[in-house]
A and B are shown apart, each in its own frame.
Chain A
Amino acid sequence: EAGVVQSPRYKIIEKKQPVAFWCNPISGHNTLYWYLQNLGQGPELLIRYENEEAVDDSQLPKDRFSAERLKGVDSTLKIQPAELGDSAVYLCASSFDSYSTDTQYFGPGTRLTVL
Chain B
Amino acid sequence: AQSVTQLDSQVPVFEEAPVELRCNYSSSVSVYLFWYVQYPNQGLQLLLKYLSGSTLVKGINGFEAEFNKSQTSFHLRKPSVHISDTAEYFCAVSGSSNTGKLIFGQGTTLQVKP
User: B95 to A109, Cβ gap below 8 A?
Assistant: no
User: A41 to B102, Cβ gap below 8 A?
Assistant: no
Nearest B-chain residue to A10, judged by Cβ:
B41
For A42, give its contact among B32, B94, B100, B107 (CB under 8 Å).
B107
B28 located at the interface, meaning its Cβ lies under 8 Å from any Cβ of chain A in the complex? no
Least distance between B26 CB and chain A CB atoms (Å): 15
Q: Which residues of A contact B36 (CB under 8 A)?
A: 106
Complexed CA–CA distance, A101 and B95 (Å): 9
Complexed CA–CA distance, A40 and B51 (Å): 27
For A100, give its contact among B42, B43, B90, B96 (CB under 8 Å).
B96
**Main secondary structure on A side of the interface with B:** loop
Q: Which residues of B contact A101 (CB under 8 A)?
A: 32, 49, 51, 94
Least distance between A46 CB and chain B CB atoms (Å): 11
User: B106 to A40, Cβ gap below 8 A?
Assistant: yes
Nearest A-chain residue to B95, judged by Cβ:
A100
Complexed CA–CA distance, A73 and B45 (Å): 21
A108 located at the interface, meaning its Cβ lies under 8 Å from any Cβ of chain B in the complex? yes
Number of residues in A with C-beta < 8 Å to the partner? 28
A7 located at the interface, meaning its Cβ lies under 8 Å from any Cβ of chain B in the complex? no
User: A45 to B43, Cβ gap below 8 A?
Assistant: no
Q: Which residues of A contact B45 (CB under 8 A)?
A: 106
User: A100 to B104, Cβ gap below 8 A?
Assistant: no
Residue picked from A3, A43, A102, most chain B C-beta under 10 Å: A43
Complexed CA–CA distance, A4 and B42 (Å): 11
Q: Which residues of A (98-114) have their CB < 8 Å from a CB of B?
A: 98-109
Complexed CA–CA distance, A4 and B46 (Å): 14
Write the B26-60 contact mask toward A (1 if CB under 8 angstroms, else 0). 00000010001000011111100101000000000
User: A56 to B101, Cβ gap below 8 A?
Assistant: yes
Q: Which residues of B (91-114) have their CB < 8 Å from a CB of A?
A: 92, 94-102, 104-107
- Assess A100 versus B98: contact at CB under 8 Å? Given A40-B106, A41-B107, A42-B90: yes
Given pairs A97-B100, A102-B100, A108-B43, 5 additional interface contacts (CB within 8 A): A48-B99, A93-B44, A101-B51, A103-B46, A104-B100
